[in-house]
Amino acid sequence: IDIKTLRGVTGGVTTIDPGYKNTGSCESAITFLDGEKGILRYRGYAIEDLADKADFLEVAYLLIFGELPTKEQLEKFHDDINAQSHVDEDVKKILDGFPKSAHPMGVLSSLTSALIAFNPSSVNVDSDEEMYNAIVRIMGKFPVLTAWAYRKRAGLPLDYGDDSLGYVDNFLKMMFKKPNGEYTSNKILVNALDKLLILHADHEQNCSTSTVRIVGSSHAGLFASLSAGINALWGPLHGGANQAVLEMLEAIKEDGGDTKKYMAKAKDKSDPFRLMGFGHRVYKNFDPRAKIIKVAADDVLNDLGVEDPILDIAKGLEREALEDSYFVDRKLYPNVDFYSGIIYRAMGIPVEMFTAMFALGRLPGWIAQWKEMRQRKEPIGRPRQVYIGENLRDFKDITKR
């Protein structure tokens, strides 16, 4: 049955697939992954090559537009993004209304939604030009919102970036600029963050991306779809795992560093505890991103001259899991976020910001998937169910219940 015919079919047999473990929701030309072989490619390019040779903005362009940019295309994309990197001053008032302790992911999803009110033309994107404008708008404003979410918590003044810097360096400046304006670019940090954001940039139909596509399928608009995606990413079984991993490693350290105790806890079916950063819905041999990140964590810590005992605990857990039949039988290996928090921490990024950093990296992937969904004119996402409730019942008056 071809896809066109399939589109017209409803009311037939409904398959049940909890968690959509074996359901393809769309055709896509963006990201290829083979979970058995540990292969990940964006638009046909190996993740290992991209992480090693490209910068984040190049990869964002590749994901969104399908090809690696020429120098001119990349410069224009960057200029167009920079031209949109101001956020309406009234957004600061909304941010001010949040308590200082608000989680950055809640702040980010709310502010991304709030941007719709200030950029109403981003909702109707029927032409290529309108679509492009919406894309560069959010690529320009999202790093500002992310940096502001951090600065609000840190009690630092809110400010804008510096268009003369690269996308990632500019973001780091917005984050770490001192109140007197002082900031020194650090190549090690820029390279490390470029790599981390590239590794997180897309991952086919994961929970948050599926959310973006399904919300977008009602033509709700890019920013509304992204805001929903941010909320989906927040959960500890998805993007929130990076924060949960570091908190878990910290707890193991505080508890005397006994990794075996936590391995036993994770295996105990009467205990809801899971080894955070282990396991993946699709990768059943290894997560290629985790391999790259593990090496990067070593390099960044060495380059920065930071010694973090938590890295040893992480390596210890990984070693033990590789030899443990519970983890081996269930094909549970470290995922991308097992080591990412160690790098973020070495960069001076607080743990509550880790998932927001993931969102910054995933932004171009979400945009690319939303754009593909709209351009392919996909129908509204609307799964069926198998009803397991009561049969028809007689209505009972409230006095008789």
Active-site residues: which are they?
280, 337
Smallest distance from ligand ACO to CB 312, Å:
20
What number of residues does the chain have? 401
120 Cα distance to chain centroid? 25
How far apart are alpha carbons 76 and 73 in whole angstroms? 5
> What's the rounded Cα separation, in Å, for the pair 342 and 161?
26
Beta bridge partners of 41: 32, 46
CA distance readout (Å), 47 to 42, 78, 160, 273, 278: 7, 22, 31, 31, 20
DSSP state of 51: H
User: Where would I find the H helices in 98-186?
Assistant: 104-118, 128-154, 167-176
CB of 331 to ligand ACO, least distance (A): 8
| Exposed e or buried b per residue across 102-118, where buried means at least 16 C-beta atoms within 10 angstroms of its C-beta | bbbbebbbbbbbbbbeb
With respect to ligand ACO, which residue has the nearer C-beta, 141 or 238? Answer: 238
Q: Looking at 267-381, which runs of residues are DSSP E strands?
A: none
> Smallest distance, Å, CB 189 to ligand ACO?
22
Helix (H) or strand (E) holding 42: strand 39-42
By beta-carbon proximity to ligand ACO, the closer residue of 141 and 294 is 294
Helices (H), 119-127: none
Q: What is the DSSP string of 75-103?
A: HHHHHHHHTT----HHHHHHHHHS-TT--
The smaller minimum CB distance to ligand ACO, of residues 219 and 281, is found at 281
- In the bound complex, what is the minimum distance in angstroms from residue 43's beta carbon to ligand ACO? 20
Contact 209, 365 (CB under 8 A): yes
Of 246 and 349, nearer to ligand ACO (C-beta) is: 246
Choose between 69 and 341: whose C-beta lies nearer to ligand ACO. Answer: 341
- Structure tokens given for 116: 């719709």
How many other CB atoms are found less than 10 A from the CB of residue 377? 6
Min CB(176)–ligand ACO separation in Å? 25
> Based on CB atoms, which residue is closest to ligand ACO, 144 or 201?
201
Q: Are 105 and 234 in contact (CB under 8 A)?
A: yes
Residue closest to ligand ACO when measured from CB atoms: 279
- C-beta of 13: minimal distance to ligand ACO in Å? 24
In the complex, which residues of this chain contact ligand ACO (CB under 6 A)? 19, 237-239, 241, 266, 274-281, 330, 332, 335-337
